[in-house]
């Protein structure tokens, strides 16, 4: 039993060493539109459900964003854009939410362009986005 615990402890130490010696982390930034997406989602949940649920979703979003700083290419290509032969954007999922982003290798940055509920139609979201940006 003690040997099993020691092996688990050694394994955990190796994992920590691996992360500490990882190459520089990427900078991850929300675009203004993505920041507005997050605010709208959190406000909607806080108003419709409750603050605790909104806080849990916000923590989920933080974890998704942080995961991109270590592994920016882990996401898959956005299917709707891939159909149009656009491969500049990837996406990851956090619960039912989709984060659409691109990686800028020269600046060592990941830019999150959109955060939206994956159950919604992308064309509806793009229409709303275009309308919102035309008002600015």
In a domain, 8, yes or no: no
Tell me if 102 is assigned to some domain: yes
- Number of compact structural domains in the chain: 1
- What's the average model confidence in pLDDT over 81-93? 92
CATH number at residue 114: 3.30.2310.20
Whether 8 shows a pLDDT value over 50: the answer reads no
Q: Which domain holds residue 111?
A: 23-134
pTM: 0.76
Cβ neighbourhood burial of 61 (10 Å; 0-12, 13-18, 19+): buried
116 is a domain residue: yes
74 within a domain of the structure (yes/no): yes
| Domain presence at residue 5 | no
**pLDDT digit string (tens) for 31-72?**
999 999 999 999 999 999 899 999 999 999 999 999 999 999
84 within domain boundaries: yes
- Give a yes or no: residue 6 inside a domain: no
In a domain, 76, yes or no: yes
Q: Under a CB-based contact definition with an 8 Å cutoff, are residues 77 and 90 in contact?
A: yes
Task: Round to the nearest angstrom and report the end-to-end CA distance of the chain.
Answer: 64
Greater model confidence, 127 or 35: 35
Q: Across the chain, what does the average pLDDT equal?
A: 83
Question: In the structure, what pLDDT confidence band is assigned to residue 131 with cuts at 50, 70 and 90?
Answer: low
């Amino acid at each position: 039993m003690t040997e099993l615990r020691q092996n688990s402890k050694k394994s955990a130490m190796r994992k920590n060493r691996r992360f500490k010696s990882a190459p520089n982390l990427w900078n991850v930034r929300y675009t203004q539109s993505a920041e507005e997406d997050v605010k709208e989602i959190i406000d909607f949940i806080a108003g419709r459900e409750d603050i605790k649920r909104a806080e849990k979703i916000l923590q989920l979003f933080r974890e998704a964003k942080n995961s991109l700083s270590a592994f920016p290419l882990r996401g898959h290509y956005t299917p709707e854009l891939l159909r149009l032969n656009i491969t500049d954007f990837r996406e990851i999922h956090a619960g039912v939410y989709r984060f659409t982003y691109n990686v800028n290798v020269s600046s060592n940055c990941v830019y999150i362009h959109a955060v939206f509920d994956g159950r919604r139609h992308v064309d509806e979201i793009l229409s709303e986005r275009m309308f919102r940006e035309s008002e600015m």
